[in-house]
Amino acid sequence: MKIGIISKTLVLIFAILLFAGCFSIESSVVRSTKQEHVLVSNYGWYLFHFIPLACGNASEDPLLPLVMFRNDVTMDKIQKQFFNYAKSQNKEAMDLVYSNRETVLFEFPGSSVSFPVPYILTYREIQLSGVLMANKGGGQ
């Protein structure tokens, strides 16, 4: 009996961690031009389109990979993290492009499988990408 309760609890925790949300900063350098392409993204789930349930933790010093009942899927938070990363690399940002996606059907991230549960669960994803170049003025 105890093993069944423990296993169900672990499966529930794993499902929450898997589908809750994710904040990430990914970068790649083009060798020939020395340009660094950076992508900052975050996604999360909302109840009735407005109440945040869970999303990736976009705070300055995250202790947890996700947060519950806090809205971190905003352009302000993504942009702040992008420019903090550029500053930490002592590089200048250019050619910024953003993407904002919202789905009003329950959809598993990374797939096209959705269920007809409109407006109860909403999935939001926001991405900001750009190119980082070395500062021309040196170390400012």
pLDDT in tens, 60-93: 776 777 888 889 999 999 999 999 999 999 999 9
Q: Is 8 within a domain?
A: no
**Taking 50 as the threshold, does the pLDDT of residue 140 lie above it?**
no
For residue 62, the enclosing domain spans 21-134
Q: Is 6 within a domain?
A: no
How many domains is the chain built from?
1
**Tens of pLDDT along 83-137?**
999 999 999 999 999 999 887 766 566 666 666 666 677 889 999 999 999 877 6
Q: Is 139 within a domain?
A: no
**Tens of pLDDT along 28-41?**
998 888 899 999 99
The H or E element spanning position 87 is helix 75-88
Q: Is 7 within a domain?
A: no
Q: Is 120 within a domain?
A: yes
Q: Is 10 within a domain?
A: no
> Looking at residue 60, what is its pLDDT?
75
| Sign for the pseudo-dihedral over CA of 83, 85, 88, 90 | negative
The H or E element spanning position 83 is helix 75-88
Q: Is 83 within a domain?
A: yes
CB atoms within 10 A of CB 68: 14
Looking up tokens 């750009």 gives 130
For residue 64, the SS3 value is coil
b/e code 96-106 from CB counts within 10 Å (16+ = b): eeeeeeeeeeb
Q: Is 74 within a domain?
A: yes
